[in-house]
Amino acid sequence: MRAYWQNVLSCGRDIHLFLGYALLSYIGIGVFTLIFNLYLVQLGYDEGFIGAVNGVYTLSMGITCLLIGFLINRFGNWICLTLGTIEFAISLVVLATVTSETALLLLAALNGIGSAFIMTGQMPFVIEWTPRRHTALMAALSSAISSGSIMLGSLVGGLLPSGVGALVDSAASSAEAYRWTLIIGAALTTISIAPLLVMGPARKERHHEDFRVSHAQLLSHRVRRQARRDVGALILLGLFLALGVGAVEPFYNVLLTNMGTPAGTIGLIFALSGLVATVLSVAGPALAQRIGYVSAQIWTRVFFIPVHLLLIPFPSAWLVSLGYAGRKISGSVSWPLESAHAGGLLPPQARAHAFGLRSASWNIGYAFAAFTSGQIIARTGSYTPAYLSLSVFCILSVAVYVIAFGGRLPDDGTSAEEPVPQQVVEPLSTD
């Protein structure tokens, strides 16, 4: 454990400040995730409109992710994270104060833009500014902190309405109480800008020194061709994974409700699953070191599939709970490993594009799968197609990963002198 924290401490001040940013910025997202749909219900909107608002939010994130890679390469990750966080907080405040359908849809789209910058900018920043030998470690730690922050935001969002309601002379479940809870969540996210403002090289320079060195590398036709293949593989595996996960994940709470599970118990199941997933995600790099990146990806991406297949002949609340926990653990452990492995193989100038396009394929695929699966479930009353879709597409995603990245390992930086993060780097034009 001492060696673990020594490695964390050796990663530099800017990365430590970034972890503080990740902790604070995701609190607002956690509050939004828990409260916003309840706010819409109190405004009198039904499930159809709530689904439309959430669809617009997710689609907006996906479209924004298509452009994030270009923006990060052109202006640097720091400015994109800073402006994206500000945009998220402002749009959330306005979103909490409007009530008309048109305004809610428009503000949901704007909020999706800010969310995309916060969520998609995380891994490119960590990979660029972390010493290469510690990339997997910091990718896992930052992901764990973000997941924990979302849980903290959900906890804050659940507790605030009663206190806020008393202050504004309103019921805890009223639209007014939810409105002020969302505004407080936006304020908490705004505080996350403070660690960004006191950063050193990551704030003053657009990119790390590795980014400049890679400019000459990208002139190589062989390197550019391989980078295109790797980016295409990330897009495809993200799409397959989203088509599988999106078919089931939005409906776990509905499944448990239909099986007679009380709302309080569902909340406890979700919270405990998230807590376990957050803790285990930190162990991902150790697992990869022991059995290899590819083997770790295979096991963490598919181990929960048998539980969902068992739900076809044996539907039960405890199996649904186990399936939800397995899916949360899978995502928390495998995503940082995928980011460290695939991101380490990509030239620095291609990473932001890769993560942006990967996030776009995920959000668009997830939105399509959730909508399609919901229609099938509503018409047939059966979750069997959703479970089968989850199994098939998750396996296809793993197959793409193995074919594209198996047998290749990123340079850990031990064979060459580490770049000095404090060195001043001239901004580069990517035109």
pLDDT bin (cut points 50, 70, 90) of residue 113 is: very high
What CA–CA distance (Å, rounded) separates 106 from 197?
30
Q: Give, in degrees to the nearest 5, the angle at Cα 50 between 62 and 185.
A: 75
Where exactly are the structural domains of the chain?
Answer: 12-207, 208-411
Residue of 72, 189, 49, 56 whose CA lies nearest to 113 = 56
Cβ-in-10-Å burial (0-12, 13-18, 19+) of 394 comes to buried
**Predicted structure pTM score:** 0.72
Say how far apart CA 54 and CA 153 lie, in whole Å. Answer: 19
The one-letter code for the residue type at 388 is L
pLDDT 10s digits, 359-381: 888 888 887 888 788 888 878 88
Same topology between domain 12-207 and domain 208-411: yes
Collect all residues with Cβ–Cβ distance below 8 Å to 269 and sequence separation of at least 6: 256, 261, 321, 324, 325
Q: CA 394, 396, 397 angle in degrees (round to 5)?
A: 65
Residue 220's pLDDT is what? 64
pLDDT at 213: 53
Angle at 16 between CA 10 and CA 19, to 5 degrees: 135
Residues 6+ apart with CB under 8 A from 290: none
Out of 141-145, 273-277, 425-429, least confident range = 425-429
* pLDDT at 217 > cutoff 70: no
Of 107-121, 273-287, 392-406, the range with the lowest mean pLDDT is: 273-287
CATH number for the region 12-207 comes to: 1.20.1250.20
Q: Is the pLDDT of residue 429 over 50?
A: no
Could you give the C-alpha distances from 298 to 174, 182, 294, 301, 406, in angstroms and in order? 46, 39, 6, 5, 11
DSSP 283: T
- pLDDT value at residue 406: 82
In this prediction, residue 239 carries a pLDDT of 93
- Report the pLDDT value the prediction gives residue 196, as an integer from 0 to 100: 93
Structurally, at CATH architecture level, domain 208-411 sits in: Up-down Bundle (1.20)
Q: Quick check: 281 pLDDT over 50?
A: yes
| pLDDT over 60 at 215, yes or no | no
Q: Which long-range contacts (CB under 8 A, 24 or more apart) does 214-220 make?
A: 214/347, 214/348, 214/349, 215/349, 215/428, 217/347, 218/347, 218/349, 218/350
Helix (H, G, I), strand (E, B) or coil at 260: coil
Q: Which of 272, 289, 387 is nearest to 328 (CA)?
A: 272
For the chain, the distance separating the N- and C-terminal CA atoms, rounded to the nearest angstrom, is 45
Nearest to 397, CA basis, from 254, 233, 263, 228: 233
Rg (C-alpha) for the chain, rounded Å, is 21
Instruction: Please state, in angstroms and rounded to a whole number, the distance separating the CA atoms of residues 142 and 21.
Output: 10
- Give the single-character DSSP code of 43: T
pLDDT digits (tens, 9 = 90+) for 123-134: 888 878 888 777
Encoded tokens for 337: 């490993």
| Percent above pLDDT 70 for the chain | 87
Per-residue model confidence as pLDDT tens digits over 285-316: 888 888 888 888 889 999 999 999 999 999 99
- For residue 86, the model assigns a pLDDT of 94
| pLDDT > 70? residue 224 | yes
Number of residues in the chain: 431
Name the pLDDT band for 209 (thresholds 50, 70, 90).
Answer: low
The answer to whether the CB of 189 falls within 8 A of the CB of 25 is yes
Structure confidence by residue, pLDDT tens digits, 376-407:
887 888 899 999 999 999 999 999 999 988 87
Short-list 121, 177, 174, 160, CA closest to 31: 160
Q: Which of 428, 422, 427 is nearest to 199 (CA)?
A: 422
The 8-class DSSP code of residue 66 comes to H
241-275 confidence digits (pLDDT tens): 999 998 888 778 778 878 887 755 776 787 788 78
Q: Say which DSSP state 312 is in.
A: T
Tell me how far apart the alpha carbons of residues 217 and 350 are, in angstroms, rounded to a whole number.
Answer: 11
